């Protein structure tokens, strides 16, 4: 199985972690438009694409010394430097490698060798571009940190600041040879759609013969999807793909414990219920809903640095569900041929 996992943040690494039990042929296509936290500081100071999500993906597929993986994820803690406080060591490491190697792609490949990565991690683009959005009230906001900010008008559409953004070398080729392509989970606009805004990436996925699956989020996200249901999420993905190309959406059907649901709801992260109405709306979009137990019901809430936690997916459950979908497709195709 040749898998391509598109996204960023904590979502794509979760999927890759789950699929590692089934294949070593995994390529992560990772978002590079983050502009907040330590990633934003590195982008401004050193003029590189956002390294944070790439760093997390590298560590997910790494087979090297655990201490080296811990070091890559370590964040400095200091009250003497605002720029260093909260800075992830791996972000600085990738920026330093970019200067030494002459390109961000060469830096990622070099870091992959050092970390003993099984599979491949690629930024979706090497352009140091920014995510922008047109809001429902006509306002235009620039930079990812402002696109995801709560308390503004709903997002109408997103776009990249640079008009012509080419994909990173190797990304389209990975899509063309894939058996399985996963999108998400993760922030709908600032992660998944941000990757699909690279035109050749979206076109390659839309025309791919692979099984293309959107792994649906578990909750709404303040500032991005406050009023959106599951079908609305799927509709936005289909739009970004040009109206076709998405085969299935993987949806959790294992209700979270009441305490987890209430904890996140208090922060504006309402659980996305897979109601009959939502499922019917998804089918009407030409996408097949696949329901399976996907969430981690046993771990408590996490403290994330300057990020909202959410009801998270369990890597093994999602990996098994994705492989089952691919096997069912292959069996159906074999039956049709026979």
pLDDT tens for each residue of 177-204: 999 999 999 999 999 999 999 999 999 9
The pLDDT, as a whole number, for residue 240 is 97
Phi, psi of 68 (to 5 degrees): -70, -40
Residue with tokens 């997916």: 313
Domain ranges of the chain: 3-31+169-337
The pLDDT, as a whole number, for residue 308 is 65
Q: 110 and 116 in contact (C-beta within 8 Å)? A: no
**Is pTM beyond 0.85 here?**
yes
The pLDDT, as a whole number, for residue 163 is 85
For residue 42, how many other CB atoms are within 10 A of its CB? 23
| Low-confidence spans in the chain with pLDDT less than 50 | 305
The pLDDT, as a whole number, for residue 102 is 95
3-state helix, strand, coil in the chain (%, to 5): 40, 15, 40
The pLDDT, as a whole number, for residue 84 is 87
- Max CA pair span of the chain: 70
Using alpha carbons, select from 253, 251, 268 the residue that is nearest to residue 310. Answer: 268
The pLDDT, as a whole number, for residue 86 is 86
pLDDT in tens, 4-34: 999 997 899 999 999 999 999 999 999 999 9
Which CATH number applies to 3-31+169-337? Answer: 3.40.50.10680
Q: Which tokens in the block code for residue 172?
A: 């389209």
């Amino acid at each position: 199985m040749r898998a391509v996992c598109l996204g960023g943040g904590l979502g794509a690494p979760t999927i890759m972690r789950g699929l590692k039990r089934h294949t070593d042929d995994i390529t992560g296509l990772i978002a590079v438009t983050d502009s907040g936290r330590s990633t934003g500081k590195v982008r401004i100071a050193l003029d590189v694409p956002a390294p944070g999500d790439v760093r997390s993906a590298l560590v997910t597929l790494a087979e090297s010394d655990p201490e080296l993986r811990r070091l890559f994820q370590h964040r400095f803690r200091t009250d003497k430097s605002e720029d260093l406080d909260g800075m992830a060591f791996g972000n600085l490491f990738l920026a330093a490698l970019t200067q030494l190697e002459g390109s961000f792609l060469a830096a990622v490949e070099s870091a992959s060798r050092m970390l003993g990565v099984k599979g491949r991690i690629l930024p979706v683009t090497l352009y140091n571009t920014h995510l922008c959005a047109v809001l429902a009230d006509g306002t235009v906001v620039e930079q990812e940190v402002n696109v995801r900010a709560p308390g503004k008008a709903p997002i109408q559409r997103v776009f990249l600041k640079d008009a012509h953004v080419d994909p990173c070398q190797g990304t389209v080729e990975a899509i063309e040879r894939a058996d399985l392509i996963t999108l998400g989970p993760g922030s709908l606009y600032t992660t998944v759609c941000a990757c699909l805004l690279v035109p050749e990436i979206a076109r390659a996925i839309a025309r791919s013969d692979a099984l293309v699956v959107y792994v649906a989020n578990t909750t709404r996200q303040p500032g991005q999807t406050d009023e959106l249901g599951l079908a609305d999420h799927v509709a936005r993905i289909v739009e970004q793909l040009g109206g076709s190309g998405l085969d299935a959406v993987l949806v959790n059907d294992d209700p979270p414990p009441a305490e987890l649901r209430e904890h996140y709801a208090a922060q504006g992260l309402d659980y996305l219920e897979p109601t009959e109405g939502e499922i019917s709306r998804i089918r009407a979009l030409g996408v097949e809903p696949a329901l399976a137990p996907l969430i981690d019901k046993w771990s408590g809430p996490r403290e994330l640095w300057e990020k909202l936690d959410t009801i998270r997916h369990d890597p093994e459950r999602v990996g098994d569900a994705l492989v089952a979908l691919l096997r069912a497709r292959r069996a159906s195709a074999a039956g049709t041929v026979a």
